[in-house]
Chains A and B, each alone.
Chain A
Amino acid sequence: MIITKQDALPISVRDVTKTYGDVFALDDVSLEVESGEFLTLLGPSGSGKTTLLMVLAGFTRPDRGSLKFGNDEVIRKPPHLRDVGMVFQNYALFPHMTVAGNVGYPLRLRRVPKAEAAERVERALETVQLSGYGERRIDQLSGGQKQRVALARAIVFEPRILLMDEPLSALDKKLRDRMQIELRHLHEKLGMTTVYVTHDQREALTMSDRIAVVNFGRIMQLATPQQLYDQPENKFVADFIGDSTFLDVERDGEKLVAGTTVLKTTRPVPEGNNLSLMMRPERVRLLENAASEDVNEFTATVSEVVYQGESFLLYAALENGTEMAVRGAIRSGSFTSLPKPGETVRLGLDSADTVILSDREQQL
């Protein structure tokens, strides 16, 4: 059951809109998923991720738009003719069938001869590391095992597109971490175009080739995990991925000013007036010596220092009152030499890490 990357299908979503009353569940969504890619839809609850996935699977009829698998327009094709595999959030395993019955179901529909079907079921179960579980009843399985059976059932008929809606959200953290890696390996092995839904940014960063950040039924940014983290396109993405503090930025002629600091940046600056400076806790440093040329310097008063094992988290208030966080590594003994609450410190942000964003979500 090895699908090569050429067999996988690209997905092309164009201008898809879906409204419920006056709620825009999807608002003019366009998206290209490359063949064989692992793409994640990431967004807060209610942002439209499930709706988009259901449009791909054919269970939700959008108001308008186009959807192509490869070169075929499929927007009006009923779900049972689309030939995409799907793992449901609650797995939707049939309780009246055994594990083998569930996994063999799509093969029975396709009239695969019994012997071949049995072999393929066993191979699919092997792929998800459940060999020998065929005769089990569904209610005898743990959450993680159910998840694997659902996966086996979705891949056994070798669909060229695989959809997953928060498949790990019901599992405990340890199992979730392991399954993330396993799903990733499985994708590398099978190579089908995969669209994965999650609201967990860490999961998205771990697994995806690219991530589409979704909010209010729109795609806020579509990029690789690293680009999303390092070069968010707007404040929503910067805020949703990782921790950050934002400082208001004023335009003063050519200059950009945050508080009393004139900013130096090597990065592109967006148009418009509603600008914010993004500061990630681990990119801000405590300055001991005089700052060099390419570092933006801020003065702040320490309000709290938190010990977190491998690192410390220092909260400090800038002159204009904004609280911000600084994270740094703790080397032996260095925790005791950190500033104490009430002390004044100088914080530095490299011009290469100085990201200025427009508050795009306010325009929505």
Chain B
Amino acid sequence: MTTTDMNAAGLKRDERLERLKLFGLSSPAILLVLVILVIPVGWLFYVSFIGADGSFSLENYERMIKRKSYGRIFLTTFEVSLLTTGLCILIGYPLAYFMSQLPNRIANLCLITVLLPFWTSLLVRTYAWLVLLQKNGLVNKWAISLGLWDEPIKIVHNLNGTLIGMVHIMLPFLVLPTYGAMKAIDRDYLKAAANMGASPARAFWTVFFPLSTPGLFAGALMVFVLCLGFFVTPAVLGGGKVIMVSMKIVSNIELFVNWGAASALGVVLLILTVAVLWLASRFLKLEQMTGGGH
């Protein structure tokens, strides 16, 4: 043995052992993903290609193309998701900005209040909105006593109610990454901008906003994707007037016991979601190439 391969075999074995250990640590997670994700999704694909008579057929997909109502459902789903995302941005971005300018201790307190809704169940929060927004609910009573409007108006069991509830529930998903990105912006950037002659508004739009967009995009994307498959809130607050893909899936199973049709809807929703994510990731990567992400 020459001096150059001194201990070489032993060191190589150590390296292999280390990798094995790492794999061992991640195996429960890999197993979990396999069992609860890969297998059911595979099953979903399989079932979607089974017709009513139990043989292989494309009828579940054909139905989606032929019937107008399906197109409308997909359109509604995208519309509600886009509106929710847009409203979340309009409300969440200023909120995140405000929080990012506060001293750390107070900002953390605000952050807890933003996260507070997570401590109660989704269903409870949704029904709470129903109570508040219904015809003789608190909102209507107060508005009338304040003279904002005369008659009780319909705020729930329609698109408005759905949006109010969904925005409320989705807001933290937008605020958190946006706030994180804003916190990471060095304040010296804004000082430098001011030093070179930028008014506060100019400095905000030319420096702060572009640097906060990676967080904003990440949050908006998360909200949008979560909205695409959202069920509980639109079902309760939409009052049957806002029908999203998830609700059609449920009615296909509960009403018509048609697993094939439900699965096909699921598959299409999955593909659309993946497409959105793929488009967004290309867009975000472009953003990074121009130096936006860091």
List A residues at the B interface (Cβ < 8 Å). Answer: 57-59, 78-86, 88, 90, 92-98, 105-106, 109-110, 137-139, 153, 157
Contacts of B207 in A (CB 8 A): 94, 96
Q: Is the CB of A157 within 8 A of B191?
A: no
- Known contacts: A59-B191, A92-B192, A96-B210. The answer to whether A109 contacts B198 by CB under 8 A is yes
**Which of B125-133, B223-231, B246-254, B286-294 is the interface stretch?**
B286-294
Q: A149: shortest Cβ distance to chain B, in Å?
A: 12
CA distance A8 to B194 in the complex (A): 21
Q: Is the CB of B294 within 8 A of A139?
A: yes
Q: Is the CB of A157 within 8 A of B197?
A: yes
Nearest opposing residue in chain B for A110, CB measure: B197
Q: Is B163 engaged at the interface, CB distance under 8 Å to the other chain?
A: no
Nearest opposing residue in chain B for A81, CB measure: B197
Say what secondary structure dominates the interface of chain B. Answer: helix
Q: B204: shortest Cβ distance to chain A, in Å?
A: 12
- Known contacts: A109-B202, A138-B291. The answer to whether A88 contacts B197 by CB under 8 A is no
Q: Is B211 engaged at the interface, CB distance under 8 Å to the other chain?
A: yes
17 more CB-based (< 8 A) A-B contacts, given A95-B291, A105-B196, A137-B291: A82-B195, A85-B195, A86-B195, A88-B188, A88-B192, A92-B186, A92-B189, A94-B189, A95-B294, A96-B211, A98-B291, A105-B198, A106-B197, A109-B197, A109-B202, A138-B291, A153-B192
| Residue contacts A-B, CB under 8 angstroms, 22 given | A57-B191, A57-B195, A59-B194, A78-B194, A80-B198, A80-B203, A81-B197, A84-B195, A85-B196, A86-B195, A88-B192, A90-B186, A95-B211, A96-B211, A96-B290, A96-B291, A97-B291, A106-B197, A109-B202, A138-B291, A139-B291, A157-B197
CA distance A109 to B199 in the complex (A): 9
CA distance A348 to B150 in the complex (A): 102
Q: Point out which of A97, A98, A110, A138 has the most chain B C-beta atoms below 10 A from its C-beta.
A: A97
List the 8 closest A-B pairs by CB distance, nearest first: A106-B196, A92-B188, A92-B192, A79-B194, A80-B194, A86-B195, A109-B197, A96-B291
Q: Is B110 engaged at the interface, CB distance under 8 Å to the other chain?
A: no
- In the complex, the number of residue pairs spanning A and B with C-beta atoms less than 8 Å apart equals 72
Q: Is B41 engaged at the interface, CB distance under 8 Å to the other chain?
A: no
Q: Is the CB of B188 within 8 A of A90?
A: yes
CA distance A80 to B206 in the complex (A): 14
List B residues at the A interface (Cβ < 8 Å). Answer: 186, 188-189, 191-200, 202-203, 206-207, 210-211, 290-292, 294
CA distance A20 to B191 in the complex (A): 20
Partner among B189, B192, B200, B294 whose Cβ is within 8 Å of the Cβ of A86: B192
CA distance A80 to B203 in the complex (A): 10
Q: B88: shortest Cβ distance to chain A, in Å?
A: 24
Contacts of A139 in B (CB 8 A): 291, 294
Nearest opposing residue in chain B for A153, CB measure: B196
Q: Is the CB of A88 within 8 A of B194?
A: no
Q: Is the CB of A80 within 8 A of B195?
A: yes
Nearest opposing residue in chain A for B197, CB measure: A109
Q: B92: shortest Cβ distance to chain A, in Å?
A: 21
Q: B294: shortest Cβ distance to chain A, in Å?
A: 5
Contacts of A138 in B (CB 8 A): 291
Nearest opposing residue in chain A for B199, CB measure: A80
Nearest opposing residue in chain A for B190, CB measure: A92
Nearest opposing residue in chain A for B191, CB measure: A59
CA distance A96 to B208 in the complex (A): 10
- Known contacts: A59-B191, A88-B191. The answer to whether A96 contacts B197 by CB under 8 A is no
Contacts of B196 in A (CB 8 A): 80, 85, 105-106, 109, 153, 157
Q: A78: shortest Cβ distance to chain B, in Å?
A: 8
Contacts of B291 in A (CB 8 A): 95-98, 137-139
Q: A158: shortest Cβ distance to chain B, in Å?
A: 12
Q: Is the CB of B191 within 8 A of A92?
A: yes
Nearest opposing residue in chain B for A97, CB measure: B291
CA distance A105 to B5 in the complex (A): 57
CA distance A226 to B203 in the complex (A): 43
CA distance A93 to B207 in the complex (A): 11
Contacts of A92 in B (CB 8 A): 186, 188-189, 191-192
CA distance A82 to B199 in the complex (A): 11
Q: A171: shortest Cβ distance to chain B, in Å?
A: 18
Nearest opposing residue in chain A for B292, CB measure: A96
CA distance A113 to B195 in the complex (A): 21
Contacts of A95 in B (CB 8 A): 211, 291, 294
CA distance A82 to B194 in the complex (A): 9
CA distance A88 to B190 in the complex (A): 12
CA distance A43 to B222 in the complex (A): 50
Contacts of B210 in A (CB 8 A): 96
Contacts of B292 in A (CB 8 A): 96
